[in-house]
């Protein structure tokens, strides 16, 4: 059965010392307070990955993820970091397709398909983000957009490869805006995504894929969102930078 997952996306925040301090605090709080079997994944900037992966080594339910990777294993790509390098420090996950990468760095579905391939080849599990802009929702084209994102970036995979993918539905209009999709709005899209996955990869893949919700999720709205049948956790931005808020979101998962 699919896993319940809470992933934190720190984005470009936290200097090294503050970040390691925050992660240590999160590890201690999860050990002291979390009783369920939720998986916690924290995705910091690259500089923290090595130190945090060391701290996570002895933890069953806490792992570390990167926020991006380059599609090549190595080469003359100044400033870039590959999936091969990321996994070499003990990291298990990588966020791909975040709307900020799509918007500010022009990442297309075609490029993301290459990044997914590189991540999988190097034993990193992608947390693959999909979602519509406000204009796309207002023009009722959100289902088509999401289907297209899935088709172009993931539908070349074999079912056995797809089993390593975590999906995150993140309506772009809800990211960092304080606007959250209502639990019913989110559930409607999550159910649509699961149906699409079933059509492409079969019933077992659809039942087993974790689909996270992301977009201004906080300790107040988390439990209502996570109570929905097809919402298997959250990808948390702003609230993952405060240990108390992040823990309360993790604990809001009462299906664990």
Q: Where in the sequence numbering do the catalytic residues fall?
A: 98, 170
Nearer to ligand PEP, 126 or 237 (CB): 237
Least distance in Å: CB of 92 to ligand PEP?
Answer: 18
**Among residues 44, 215, 233, 256, the one that binds ligand PEP under rule CB under 6 A:** 215
Cα dihedral 161, 167, 172, 177 sign: negative
97 binds ligand PEP (CB under 6 A): no
Name the segment binding ligand PEP (CB under 6 A); options: 49-57, 131-139, 154-162, 214-222.
Answer: 214-222
The 114-153 contact track toward ligand PEP, x by CB under 6 A, reads ----------------------------------------
Q: Using CB under 6 A, which residues numbered 20 to 39 contact ligand PEP?
A: none
Q: Which residue has the tokens 């990588």?
A: 94
Confirm if 246 and 2 have CB atoms less than 8 A apart.
Answer: no
Q: Is 38 exposed, middle or buried (0-12, 13-18, 19+ CB in 10 A)?
A: buried
What are the φ/ψ torsions at residue 38 (nearest 5 degrees)? -60, 140
Q: Which residue is nearest to ligand PEP (CB)?
A: 237
83 binds ligand PEP (CB under 6 A): no
238 binds ligand PEP (CB under 6 A): yes
d(CA 225, CA 232): 9
Least distance in Å: CB of 195 to ligand PEP?
Answer: 23
Confirm if 114 and 156 have CB atoms less than 8 A apart.
Answer: no
91 binds ligand PEP (CB under 6 A): no
186 binds ligand PEP (CB under 6 A): no
Q: What is the Cα gyration radius of the chain? A: 17
**Among residues 6, 8, 9, 26, the one that binds ligand PEP under rule CB under 6 A:** 9
What token pair was written down for 71? 């599609």
Q: What is the largest CA-CA distance in the chain?
A: 48
Nearer to ligand PEP, 214 or 256 (CB): 214
What token pair was written down for 253? 């998962």
Name the segment binding ligand PEP (CB under 6 A); options: 23-31, 74-82, 134-142, 213-221.
Answer: 213-221
d(CA 186, CA 197): 17
**Among residues 103, 176, 203, 229, the one that binds ligand PEP under rule CB under 6 A:** 176
d(CA 35, CA 20): 24
Binding-site size, ligand PEP (CB under 6 A): 13
Least distance in Å: CB of 198 to ligand PEP?
Answer: 25
245 binds ligand PEP (CB under 6 A): no
Q: Where are the beta strands (DSSP E) in 75-124?
A: 93-96
CB atoms near residue 228 (< 10 Å): 16
Positions touching ligand PEP (CB under 6 A) are: 9, 170, 175-176, 214-217, 235-239
């Amino acid at each position: 059965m699919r896993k319940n997952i809470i992933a934190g996306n720190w984005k470009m925040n936290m200097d090294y010392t503050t970040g390691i301090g925050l992660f240590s605090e999160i590890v201690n709080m999860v050990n002291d307070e979390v009783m369920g079997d939720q998986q916690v994944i924290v995705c910091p900037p690259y500089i923290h990955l090595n130190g945090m992966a060391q701290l996570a080594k002895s933890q069953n339910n806490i792992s570390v993820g990167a926020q991006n990777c380059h599609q090549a294993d190595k080469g003359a790509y100044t400033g870039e970091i590959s999936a091969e390098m990321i996994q070499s420090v003990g990291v298990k996950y990588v966020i791909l397709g975040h709307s900020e990468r799509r918007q500010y760095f022009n990442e297309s579905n075609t490029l993301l398909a290459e990044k997914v391939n590189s991540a999988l080849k190097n034993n990193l599990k992608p947390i693959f983000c999909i979602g519509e802009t406000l204009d796309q929702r207002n023009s009722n084209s959100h289902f088509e957009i999401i289907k297209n994102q899935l088709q172009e970036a993931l539908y070349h995979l074999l079912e056995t490869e797809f089993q390593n993918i975590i999906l995150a539905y993140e309506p772009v209009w809800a990211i960092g805006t304080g606007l959250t999709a209502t639990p019913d709005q989110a559930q409607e899209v999550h159910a649509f995504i699961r149906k699409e996955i079933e059509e492409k990869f079969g019933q077992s893949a659809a039942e087993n894929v974790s689909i996270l919700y992301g977009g201004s999720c906080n300790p107040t709205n988390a439990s209502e969102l996570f109570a929905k049948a097809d919402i298997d956790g959250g990808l948390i931005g702003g609230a993952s930078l405060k240990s108390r808020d992040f823990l309360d979101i993790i604990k809001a998962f009462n299906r664990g």
